[in-house]
Chain A
Amino acid sequence: MRKTTRKLALLGLTTAIALVFAYVEALIPPIFSAVPGIKLGLPNIVIIFVLYKMGVFEAAAVSLVRMLVVSLLFGSPTMFFYSLAGATLSLIAMAILKKINVFSIIGVSVVGGVLHNVGQILLAMVVLGTAALGYYLILLAIAGTAAGVFIGLCGGFAVERIRIDRPGGGK
């Protein structure tokens, strides 16, 4: 019972942090305005943190709630579905990579970052019915790799330093 409450509170907290990150990121002007979609993906620090600290389902829950709220507050329903496609693909891949335990959190994050973009582009290709977006994918894959390294580093620090297992932080 107490464990469930703790977990619920933690999930609420992490979701709130993810939302704040999404808001902060919305304030940063885009680096290449010519190519929309290139961004750091700060909320993914939280997602990867939850993935490492709690589990896949918890990460999925935080991710889903975050996307719902963000698209309600700042975006559109269309944006939600694009995010969903990217996040689903990304999270599944990250969970698998974490499980096989060959790469560190940075590698996991890079794959997640790239696949997030890939998922969105794939959906856009299906929706728009054009393969012309393939070029776009190349750019976004490079951007996703760079963002993934950054997010992986940040997430790694967070995972290393923040303890959620015991109250008071004792191990």
Chain B
Amino acid sequence: MDQTSKPEKQTIKRKLRNDIILIAALIALVVLVGFLVRLFRGAGDTVVVEVDGKVYGTYDLNVDRTVEIRTGEGGEELNLLVIEGGKARVETATCPDGICAAHRPISHQGESIVCLPHKVVITVKLAGDGDDPDIVS
């Protein structure tokens, strides 16, 4: 009796160990893939600026330019968007926290800079991906 149950127990133990290895490997794989996807995320080519959920303007990421995003009632609130060398950043902003201006330049598809006080969302997209951007330039 004992002689048959002992190896059986060992088999179960071994299998459970294999399970844990399997699960750990799966999670490691997923994290690795997630990391790689982030690393090699496709570069975007357009910058979409939205204010309060509405599209404020769409700009080509490969053309250097500066955009004054004027918000607020009389347009007194400003985020200065600078597109330079295929990257977009907020140079200066009149918002109290300045988080958007501190954000690193964005260039990859799906990356965004958000200015909550002014309700400004700047997102890098790939033209033809999803809703077609109406070009304002």
Name A residues whose Cβ lies closer than 8 Å to a Cβ of B: 102-104, 106-107, 110-111, 114, 130, 132, 134-135, 138, 141-142, 145, 149
Name B residues whose Cβ lies closer than 8 Å to a Cβ of A: 12, 15-16, 18-19, 22-23, 26-27, 30, 33-34, 37, 129
Given the known interface contacts A111-B22, A134-B37, the answer about A145 and B15 at a Cβ–Cβ threshold of 8 Å is no
Across the interface, name the chain B residue whose C-beta is closest to A130. B129
On chain B, the residues within 8 Å of A111 by CB distance are: 22, 26
Min C-beta distance of A153 to chain B, whole Å: 11
Tell whether, in the assembled complex, residue A110 and residue B19 are in contact, meaning their CB atoms are under 8 Å apart: yes
Candidates B18, B30, B34, B37; contact of A103 at CB < 8 Å: B18
Tell whether, in the assembled complex, residue B18 and residue A138 are in contact, meaning their CB atoms are under 8 Å apart: no
Across the interface, name the chain B residue whose C-beta is closest to A132. B129
Min C-beta distance of A143 to chain B, whole Å: 10
Give chain B's interface secondary structure class: helix
On chain A, the residues within 8 Å of B16 by CB distance are: 104, 106
On chain A, the residues within 8 Å of B15 by CB distance are: 102-104, 107
Across the interface, name the chain B residue whose C-beta is closest to A135. B37
Tell whether, in the assembled complex, residue A103 and residue B22 are in contact, meaning their CB atoms are under 8 Å apart: yes
On chain A, the residues within 8 Å of B26 by CB distance are: 110-111, 114, 141, 145
Tell whether, in the assembled complex, residue B19 and residue A103 are in contact, meaning their CB atoms are under 8 Å apart: yes
Other A-B pairs, 9, CB within 8 Å; known A104-B15, A138-B34: A102-B15, A103-B18, A104-B12, A104-B18, A106-B16, A107-B18, A110-B26, A138-B37, A145-B30
On chain A, the residues within 8 Å of B22 by CB distance are: 103, 107, 110-111
Bound-complex Cα distance A107 to B34 (A):
22
Given the known interface contacts A102-B15, A104-B12, A104-B18, the answer about A110 and B23 at a Cβ–Cβ threshold of 8 Å is yes
Candidates B18, B23, B30, B33; contact of A102 at CB < 8 Å: B18
A-B contact pairs, 29 of them (CB 8 A): A102-B15, A102-B18, A103-B18, A103-B19, A103-B22, A104-B12, A104-B18, A106-B16, A106-B19, A107-B18, A107-B22, A107-B23, A110-B19, A110-B22, A110-B23, A110-B26, A111-B26, A130-B129, A132-B129, A134-B37, A135-B37, A138-B30, A141-B30, A142-B27, A142-B30, A145-B23, A145-B26, A145-B30, A149-B23
Bound-complex Cα distance A17 to B34 (A):
37
Bound-complex Cα distance A137 to B102 (A):
31
Min C-beta distance of B132 to chain A, whole Å: 14
Across the interface, name the chain B residue whose C-beta is closest to A140. B30
Bound-complex Cα distance A31 to B72 (A):
38
Bound-complex Cα distance A106 to B18 (A):
10
Min C-beta distance of A117 to chain B, whole Å: 11
